[in-house]
Structure 1
Amino acid sequence: RTASVTINVIDVRCGNKFDKVTVCHKGKALCIGADGVADHLGHGDMVGACDKLATPSLQAGEDVAESLQLTASPNPTSAHTTLAFTLTESSSYRLEVINMQGALVAVVAEGTGDAGESFSHEFNRGHLVPGLYMVRLVAGKQSKATKLILHD
């Protein structure tokens, strides 16, 4: 069984020396130092220009229970976090942590479950350096990702 994935990369560097990062803060693009990115992400800002961000596919009034939900708490974290999700259909699942270069750095859990079944898995940072990571849940034909911020 094979799969193909298309990854679109957006260069978020800014500043005269390209040593800063563009973040979307309350609908306005800001060019900030890399040391301020974690704080901005922590209160809901997104990396990249505001017009380049993905928009949610759900419309007002749609039933969100039909889409996968994935949470990481606490987030940001320095040592460990709890990753929780509920399956929307009976299927196998795989919970992964991916770095910003797109490399798989950890498989947190794999298994099978029934529709409506909830899972909670502890993720320990281990050797991972501080930074932004993505937690990805693949369950059946669905997938969901959320950001995870690791700090000292």
Structure 2
Amino acid sequence: MPAFDAVVVTSGVNTMDMRPVLREIDASLYKEEVPYLLVGCRVKTQSVPQATTDLAEIASLGYTVARTLIRELTVHSDCVRESRPITQMPGGAHSTARAAEREYRTLAREVFAGLLGMGTEADRKLLAGRRGMKWPDAASESSQKKGKK
């Protein structure tokens, strides 16, 4: 029996990254009935529309996919180089630091509200209206992958 409640699986949104990730979800997480949430990360800003389409297709196959994407922003490298969290990086309301912070906070809300069922009603409403995407609710039993493709 696994020693954790759920898993957040991060992956780049491209075939090279996704195929082995989906195989591992099939082989390990689905088999053991571990709740998971697949998150697209390292998405170049100009590739967001295609990544969104790709993730929606993966969700349509029965995988539990986050509505929130984490874009590839230069501030991520800056944080590592300066050994500082994004929340402590300089920048105003329209900086990449604040954009990255918003993405991580939205993902955290999605994980707690959907995957773990711990969010507030306001969190669920916020996430339900994101970009009009028609993903299954991560908290619902029917959103978990039903079987092998």
Report if TM-score (shorter chain) is over 0.5.
no
TM-score range with shorter-chain normalisation? Answer: under 0.3
More strand by share: 1
More helix by share: 2
Q: Which has the higher contact order (CA 8 A, sep 6+)?
A: 2
TM-score by length of 1: 0.22
- Largest Rg, 1 or 2: 1
TM-score by length of 2: 0.22
